[in-house]
Amino acid sequence: MVLFSKEVFLVKGPAIVRLSGKVWVLGKDVSDSNVYVDVGKILPFDRDSDCKISCTGGESWLASSSFVGTSIWKDIVQRILFDVRILRTVLIMGNSDTGKSTFAVYLINEALHNGFRPCIIDADIGQGDLAPPNAIGGAIVSNQITDLREVNPQFIEFIGNISPAGFEEIIIKAVKKISKNIRILSDICIINTDGYVLKNGIDYKIRMAHEIKPDVVICLGQYSVFGTFRRNFLSSLVLYGKSPINTIKSKIDRKQRRLTQFLRYVGGNYGSTAIISIKIKETVFVYKGKTYHRSQLGRYGSLYLMDRNNIVRIQRKKLVGIFVGLGSNSTIIGFGIIVSASRGRLYIKSGISKFDEIYLSNSRIGQNDQSELRVIN
């Protein structure tokens, strides 16, 4: 197939794209190479008119460069990198499926191309690409990429939920903590956020911006969201960006992509990792930002977390399968899945053998599924 340069070739994964000629994906030169597109991901291929592309697997289609691809964001990126007098932090926000992660990758690649040393904080706890769902990841990026999942996080903060509602302040605190540690290692910090911007979500994003104090805020998608944010946040430059058309993910796409990210950290079908036994009374538990130094397993297998003012009870049937963060010295060092509880011990499937902190989430993982639960108070 010979393509015309005013059209962008879109590919939805899982797929392998074979390229002959000059081609770019989000500012990265991928000419004369093969590019893998991950499950549920949609990548735009910008190319010269004589480029040839063949695609195995997935779905592919052509779209006008006026509506998709890097051309819709080129002016914004140039303004960010060259017109902002003091540039340290960029906050990206917008509704779901407005291209936030894609824009972040493009900005990273252009920053690298122009000599910057960028870092990325992925604060989308439901559809994040750096850390597993339920967590926020941060990393210095040294090489151009086509997908944030190519980057390994150097900083991780565990939130414990895949929806930001009810966890807003915990997320803001976590983003600030990673930002403080990572900004000294980079000269531009790019913060990607979740799609919670409607109703109470816009207030949450405004609070986040006030706490983080970005130099530039990028609002993608609905112009009304941009207008509301700009009226209520006057401390920084706020820019509006289009969202690409015909790139909306279905609920099935989101679930598949979330599950593959879970399995990246705990292994398919619980992986080839070991079952680790740990004494409950010698373990510190963290749930919803609160730390519990006292805990015990009840007669019928329920886990009780206790502090001076509160007792959290997790029934045994809901305890098994919970996705957890594993830590030491208040630092996440790995992840696992609780597989059983008995005789004062928890048994966790994980590649981490030594830890003394368990960060509980509201997500349970079966061998072929992922679902949400709510801890019973």
**What is the sign of the dihedral through the CA atoms of 226, 40, 364 and 357?**
negative
pLDDT tens track for 76-91:
999 999 988 778 999 9
Q: What is the mean pLDDT of the chain?
A: 89
- Mapping DSSP to helix (H, G, I), strand (E, B) and coil, where does residue 210 land? helix
Query: Does an H or E element contain 337, and which?
Result: strand 331-342
pLDDT of residue 236: 85
Half-sphere exposure of 60 (CA within 13 A, CB side): 19
CA distance 166 to 164: 6
| CATH of segment(s) 267-372 | 2.40.30
Query: Does an H or E element contain 35, and which?
Result: strand 34-37
pLDDT of residue 270: 44
pLDDT tens track for 215-253:
999 999 989 989 998 998 888 899 999 999 877 777 777
CA distance 116 to 238: 21
Arch. (CATH architecture) of 73-251: 3-Layer(aba) Sandwich (3.40)
CB 89 within 8 A of CB 237: no
338-364: average pLDDT? 92
* Maximum pairwise Cα distance, the chain: 71
**pLDDT exceeds 80 at position 211:** yes
How is 120-164 classified by DSSP, letter by letter? EEE--TTT-SSSPTTEEEEEE--S--SSGGGSPPSEEEE---SS-
Classify residue 265 by its DSSP letter. Answer: H
CA distance 30 to 302: 53
CA nearest 145: which of 130, 166, 167?
130
Query: Quick one: pLDDT band at residue 72, thresholds 50, 70, 90?
Result: very high
Query: Quick one: pLDDT band at residue 5, thresholds 50, 70, 90?
Result: low
* Domain spans, the chain: 7-64, 73-251, 267-372
Full-model pTM: 0.91
**pLDDT exceeds 50 at position 374:** no
CB 214 within 8 A of CB 121: no
pLDDT of residue 262: 84
Given the structure tokens 């017109």, which residue do they identify?
83
CA distance 227 to 238: 9
CB 132 within 8 A of CB 49: no
Query: Quick one: pLDDT band at residue 254, thresholds 50, 70, 90?
Result: confident
- Mapping DSSP to helix (H, G, I), strand (E, B) and coil, where does residue 359 land? strand
CA distance 83 to 337: 47
> One fold for both 73-251 and 267-372?
no
288-295: average pLDDT? 93
